[in-house]
Structure 1
């Protein structure tokens, strides 16, 4: 058995109602197990206060301690599929609420290769073979029937699941989970097709969904508008949705906006959407947070500005590790998100003065964070920041072309009005020298981080 818990924290059980009592009228014989006199509730309370390594050692004491320690574990990443398929998983750990079975679904012979492939989603051991063109590897997955059978065993044994990560489950497998695990709130699906998503219709309380379409070098299944529409119709109560490596267009995002009217957070990672999809964001009437992660583009052809619409409830826009060479798509994004209050750029390549200048249309920005944006200079940064009259928080880190020496008195005065300021554009930045003669340090009651 090879198991790895997802977290080190274990929630201790509630205080037992009974108190510890020892039968004093019966003499204790030498060698008698004193812990036998303790109830399961008291012993559970004792074991819950041990460290993780101590709990592992405690499992070896006796079968009773093994069972009680297993009941303390609530989060688990499965590595051995046979442990699940045999039914031992739910017997050994009856109180699981968070299970990840992705690694166990990948067939890997660790004896033949010491190479481990790490991706942002999974980390697997791979088998290599040598050909004339070099080294190659090809991952192998368990069949859909095998995975569905294991998922059914999991659903029947762990009915209190609240979070689950699956790979390769079909519509039937998802149906087993939906019928048995009524408390499930968070689901992550990898390597599934459009039609597999029909199984989502049975989930009554699902609020958080992460859908991983194609993953470079691992698998290349396509999630298109068909899947997004099935998803939207099957999960109307979604609050958070993350789409990774998915394809689609205006129609798919529109269906999500129209059906998932409670959606508050949408994350797009490495998407392959067709041009014109940005206009569909206006259908997300309650969207508060919009995130782009590792995207090669925003929208290759957003269309005329008058057709884009606007997300009036949007509060936060985050772009992390994205390529922002597409100035037209980025400008259209700012137009759709003109009501945003918090704007974050983190390690985005291609954000220069011209593209950042388009953000001035977002006049209600209260918080700006720039990190790792090396093409941006003070000439592009300052006019936009000065145009935001409601700006209260500012973070500038590792933006090497924003220099203290180019700072104007107007910008220095703005800094005195901020509630929070974190200013480290480069390793040579000395804020006090840049503010010499401006009187910026004469006002107190602000938070400055240098």
Structure 2
């Protein structure tokens, strides 16, 4: 079992032991028959001692809890976050006596029955698991490696009844019954992350009226293959209308599902799609997200939208401020053009390690006239010519970051581009390790010296 409080971890698997070869003075101390010295902390009330403990570094929680039973008892009441690795700790009820004030619980690792001492560790985007040598043909985790759904639902019911003030929950393989228990008992639950949960199980969280952050992880290659489709997205949208952030990983869906989210969840500000399996035409539904501020697309291995349709039907997101693309396939010019069209009012564009982003594809971003920040990293096909053709048309550009874009050369920077650089509020320029410009700008006043530095370059 690992304890986590404010993003720190403490392990309860070790116990202190006396020195293996104590010196004579130490040995006399062990053999002394004198009564133990009085404990000065016994004069302090539990409330006051707990207040003192709460001011100590989190790293000292484990060692302090081993001093005596009282300290163990008091430290258990300070812990608010738990990542569970041993299901029996929950199933036996010990967790409720040991840690009565939890508000953040993650049970995913405890639900996966794999050897903890294996030397094989597989890490995916969302978690790491130890595996034995008996792997199945196509998957790292078989259905038999997960606890039965009935056992998981029972554990969720126990958690919900014991922690009505639960604010964050991470679970896997739960059904509608288990999630319904959580929705009924945990009225202030604000953040929920569900792994390997299908459409129908999402009916269980329709009663979570105060949910603000939801992460749904459907299909993960090699681990599990549950299906979250338009049905599940519609159920989620109709039941959880206060969503502010939604992340869909390995989920299916289409125009209808995203439209339902936009129409019902009018407070939605941040939408993330990772390794999505959306049907063609889903981009047009983004226009229904009337308060969307940030759109993130991650690990889109195929086209972002296989059939976006004509521009006149796409609409736009007028409130959108940030567009972030990471490890996405951008070779489909029609799909990329549709994306930039929907996001034409965006103020920040971040492109990181995207494939196929050449000059012609990047030129489609010229439709975004209000960009103030552009960040490019790992865009190996883009050249200075392609960069210049777009950013010179952005009259509001204030910040530019170009990192690890190997075809962008210092020697190709034109006077027009150097003039733009000299008036930027922020410039990070290190397209490759040979860039002279990045080293020359170190420690200089960019606004004052940038233009003069670039005069030696010719287009």
Distance 2:79 2:177 in 1: 28
Q: CA deviation at 1:136?
A: 7.1
Shift of 1:33: 2.5
For 1:288 and 1:440, the matched residues in 2 are separated by: 30
Classify the secondary structure of the residue corresponding to 2:382. coil
User: For 1:30 and 1:351, how far apart are their aligned partners in 2?
Assistant: 73
C-alpha separation between the residues in 2 aligned to 1:358 and 1:195?
Answer: 40
CA contact (8 A) 2:199 2:231 kept: yes
1:19 matched to which residue of 2?
none
Which of 263, 266, 286 is the aligned partner of 2:271?
266
| 4+ long deviations beyond 4 Å | 6-10, 133-137, 432-435
| Mapped partners of 1:200, 1:8: distance in 2 | 26
Deviations 1:94-143 (Å, cap 9, x if unpaired)? 221111110001011335x4212211111111222279x89976361011
Aligned residue number for residue 39 of structure 1: 45
Deviations 1:397-437 (A, max 9, x none): 111111110011111111111111111111111128999xx
For residues 125 and 161 of structure 1, the distance between their equivalents in structure 2, rounded to whole angstroms, comes to 29
2:403 corresponds in structure 1 to 397
Map of 2:67 onto structure 1? 61
In the other structure, the counterpart of 2:13 is: none
CA distance in 2, matches of 1:392, 1:136: 47
How many angstroms apart in 2 are the aligned matches of 1:273 and 1:326?
A: 15
**2:239 aligned with 1:234, yes or no?**
yes
Indicate yes or no: 2:5 matched with 1:3: no
CA distance in 2, matches of 1:63, 1:202: 40
Q: CA deviation at 1:60?
A: 1.8
Q: For residue 362 of structure 1, what is the aligned residue in structure 2? A: 368
Structure-2 separation of matches of 1:60 and 1:407: 63
Partner of 1:115: 120
Distance in 2 of aligned mates of 1:121 and 1:175: 24
Within the candidate set 289, 299, 312, 1:294 is matched to 299
Q: Decide which of 308, 329, 342 is 1:323's aligned counterpart.
A: 329
Q: Does 1:138 align with 2:142?
A: yes
The root-mean-square deviation of aligned C-alpha atoms, in Å, is 2.3
Confirm or deny: 8 A CA contact 1:413 1:440 kept in the other structure: no
Cα deviation for residue 34 of structure 1 reads 2.2
2:431 is the alignment partner of 1:425: yes
Distance 1:135 1:148 in 2: 24
Find the residue that maps to 2:271 and give its secondary structure. Answer: strand
Q: Distance in 2 between matches of 1:385 and 1:155?
A: 53
Structure 2 partner of 1:185: 190
Question: Contact 2:333–2:361 (CA<8 Å) still a contact in 1?
Answer: yes
The equivalent residue for 2:422 is 416
CA distance in 2, matches of 1:165, 1:86: 20
Inter-CA distance 434–126: structure 2 relative to 1 (3 Å threshold): closer
Corresponding position of 2:176:
171
Q: What's the counterpart of residue 246 of structure 1?
A: 251
Q: d(CA) in 1 for partners of 2:447 and 2:309?
A: 48
2:381 equivalent in structure 1: 375
Tell me, what secondary structure is at the counterpart of 1:5? strand
Secondary structure, counterpart of 1:373 in structure 2: coil
Tell me the distance in 1 between the aligned counterparts of 2:312 and 2:38: 83
For 1:348, the equivalent position in structure 2 comes to 354
Alpha-carbon distance in 2 for matches of 1:385, 1:138: 50
Distance 1:189 1:328, change over 3 A: same
How does 1:73-222 map onto structure 2 within 5 Å?
Answer: 73-110=79-116, 113-129=118-134, 138=142, 140-222=145-227
Post-superposition CA distance 1:165-186 (Å, at most 9, x none)? 0101111111111111112111
- In the alignment, structure 1 segments of 5+ residues that lack a partner are 11-28, 445-450
1:48 aligns with 2:54: yes
Partner of 1:18: none
Deviation of 1:279 after TM superposition, in Å, equals: 0.7
Secondary structure class of the residue paired with 1:422: strand
Structure 2 CA distance for aligned equivalents of residues 188 and 344 of structure 1: 26
Q: In terms of mean alpha carbon deviation, does 356-365 or 39-48 score higher?
A: 39-48
Partners of 1:39 and 1:56 in 2: CA distance: 21
What is aligned with 1:15? none
- Deviation track 1:223-269 (CA, whole Å, cap 9, x = no partner) reads 11111111111111101100000011111111111111111110000
Deviation, structure 1 residue 8:
4.7
Other-structure match for 1:314: 320
Segment of structure 1 superposing worse, 133-142 or 69-78:
133-142
